[in-house]
Amino acid sequence: MDPHDWHIVRSTPLFGAMPQDVALLLIGNQTVRIYEKGTALFQQGDPAESFFVVLDGWVKLFRLTPDGTEAVVGVFRRGETFAEAAIFLGGRYPVSAEVVTTARLLRIEGEVLRRRIREQPDIALSMLASSSYHLKALVEQIEQIKSLSAPQRIADFLIRLCPVREGGCTIGLPYEKALIAGRLGMKPESLSRALAKLRPLGISVDREQVSIVDVDLLVRFVETSDRGEEGF
């Protein structure tokens, strides 16, 4: 783990909120490993023995329904932690995790965390902050699915990816479109069509590059209740 990794770790809600020496103790001799694309980190129902920090790449969390369909619950990237709350949830992961892009992850044993918390209770406060952060993300996701159309959900997704808030920009999609679709609660075909519907709003897509003429236009589109465009 080099200084750059350390910087990433410190940028997470979990490790950023705790004193430096405590963070050092926690991740001291934990392992950084490279995981190939497609690796299953854990399955829902497995005993929750450790949690992760993403140093590079992307990881998806999902649930499998009895008939085999998968519902993506979250996609995590550099600077995010996941599964840390599961450590306290009856010891079982409520979701499955899979690496979707060859990734470097820092893995931290739950037992270590629990032990440290007893010695250094402030860690628990950091964990609460982190947990609250995830709660909020989930709440926002539910709101999104329930009240936005497919094109609006993608527009929102693009806006969050956008480094600027006005004017235009070009961004690269972080991972496969099929996964984006899953994350947004729709099928790949719908994603295609929805992106096509955004064309009149100044969105053009070329492979994984998306260019946006006017971000503010998108923002207003997401906030509009009438779901069609008029006069085009």
Partner DNA sequence: TGACGCACTTGACATCCGTCAAGAGGACTT
Partner DNA sequence: AAGTCCTCTTGACGGATGTCAAGTGCGTCA
* Distant-in-sequence, close-in-space partners of 206: CB < 8 Å, separation ≥ 6: none
Least CB distance from residue 131 to its own copies, whole Å? 4
In this complex, which beta carbon is closest to its own copies, that of residue 166 or of residue 223?
223
The DSSP bridge partners found for residue 118 are none
Cα 26 from chain centre = 23
Q: Is 132 in the site for its own copies (CB under 8 A)?
A: yes
Q: Is 231 in the site for DNA (CB under 7 A)?
A: no
Residue 36: name the closest of 96, 81, 101 by CA: 101
Q: Is 41 in the site for its own copies (CB under 8 A)?
A: no
Contacted by 20, from its own copies, DNA, none: CB < 5 to 8 Å by type: none
3-class DSSP state for residue 47?
strand
Q: Is 34 in the site for its own copies (CB under 8 A)?
A: no
Q: Is 121 in the site for its own copies (CB under 8 A)?
A: yes
46 close to 93: Cβ distance less than 8 angstroms: yes
3-class DSSP state for residue 205?
strand
Residues of the shown chain interacting with its own copies in the complex, contacts defined by CB under 8 A? 63, 65-69, 71-73, 85-86, 88-89, 94-95, 117-118, 121, 124-125, 127-129, 131-136, 138-143, 145-148, 185, 222-225
